[in-house]
Structure 1
């Protein structure tokens, strides 16, 4: 194994996936959300850099080719588990998350069955857009958690009538209305992008299955 910079970046991205869970185990919210967002975005950025540097420096390797898709899937699946958990199993998130996870498991099993043949089924541009949509939606939904808990922190101990007055247009020194707006915007944008990602996931999964059909036929 050759530990080039691209391979090191890919390995760090793989390790960052379970790191997202650790943020919620060892930090209180919204700090956990902040750290998870920063870790996830940093890892997502390396997804572009490791491939770019490997091609630029001609350091493409079998190790990198093996680890790269695993790191991508681990990041997406683990982050979706975390978001689904703290969202309280909200169906707006649970349904597209289920579609994405099912596709990733199905395609991974298909690739394992195909063995060396799987390497001949090239990754399409649509599949890359699918991965981008997944990562952007997850990042936005982590931001939703930040705004949600900022709102909770700033209203702890505050009388309900005072809170109601603020949201009805009263004096707002804590910027509660702005935080609430940011919460709703990131929520709906994140959910919309997650459904887009789920749709792209289904399309690319079906395309991969269709291309693999000739290799799944029993010999006559």
Structure 2
């Protein structure tokens, strides 16, 4: 159990606190606290990978757990945001993002079972998607404009950008896996 793995577990452990803070009336400071919690979790996402590579502490368990923690945190944040702001504007990109994560997770598992997991390795598009997604969620959680900076509008734009990158990266993964998926056994 190295520090990068502990940081990943911390990210998972943050989720219940994130949910509690979302629903507790905290005298109008919920959005500040929610945003801070999410930013802390996002920082641990970057930091655990950085430390694992720098200290040469990468492990199969860490490689498994890190994307699970990311998907749990993003999925919970999107579900909470949709519950707070019901309607298609937020529900559509949230459904695209969550649906893609389920699809690609299943694809990676299947490709690993047939011994071709390297065909569906993480791409640079996925990194951009994750960055846009995390920033979008930060702005959507914060809600209030910062001076003239329209956080909600920027959050929506980034979330739709993330959903577009999500679909693009899913297409790339499926295209790479297509020969294996359609091969007759």
Instruction: State whether TM-score is above 0.5.
Output: yes
TM-score (norm 1): 0.77
Deviation string, structure 1 residues 68-97 (Cα, Å, up to 9, x no partner): 11111111111001111111x132211111
- Aligned equivalent of 2:47: 49
Distance 1:19 1:73 in 2: 17
Deviation string, structure 1 residues 155-176 (Cα, Å, up to 9, x no partner): xxxxxxxxxxxxxxxxxxxxxx
Distance 1:19 1:80 in 2: 16
Which secondary structure state, in structure 2, belongs to the residue aligned with residue 28 of structure 1?
A: coil
**What are structure 2's unaligned runs of at least 5 residues?**
none
- Aligned equivalent of 1:105: 102
Counterpart check, 1:5 vs 2:3: yes
- Aligned equivalent of 2:67: 69
Deviation string, structure 1 residues 10-62 (Cα, Å, up to 9, x no partner): 11112223432121233436332222111110010111111111111111111
- Aligned equivalent of 1:132: 131
Residue number among 68, 73, 88 corresponding to 1:91 in the alignment:
88
Residue number among 170, 178, 183 corresponding to 1:213 in the alignment:
178
Distance 1:31 1:188 in 2: 20
User: Which shifted more, 101-110 or 116-125?
Assistant: 116-125
Distance 2:165 2:79 in 1: 19
| Larger Rg belongs to | 1
- CA pair 58-95 structure 1, distance change in 2 beyond 3 A: same
- Aligned equivalent of 1:24: 22
Distance 1:18 1:113 in 2: 30
Distance 2:26 2:56 in 1: 43
- CA pair 113-30 structure 1, distance change in 2 beyond 3 A: farther
Deviation at 1:108, TM superposition (A): 1.4
Which secondary structure state, in structure 1, belongs to the residue aligned with residue 182 of structure 2?
A: coil
Distance 1:107 1:29 in 2: 40
Distance 1:202 1:32 in 2: 32
Task: Give the CA RMSD over aligned residues.
Answer: 1.9
TM-score (norm 2): 0.91
User: Which shifted more, 48-57 or 91-100?
Assistant: 91-100
How many residues align structurally? 183
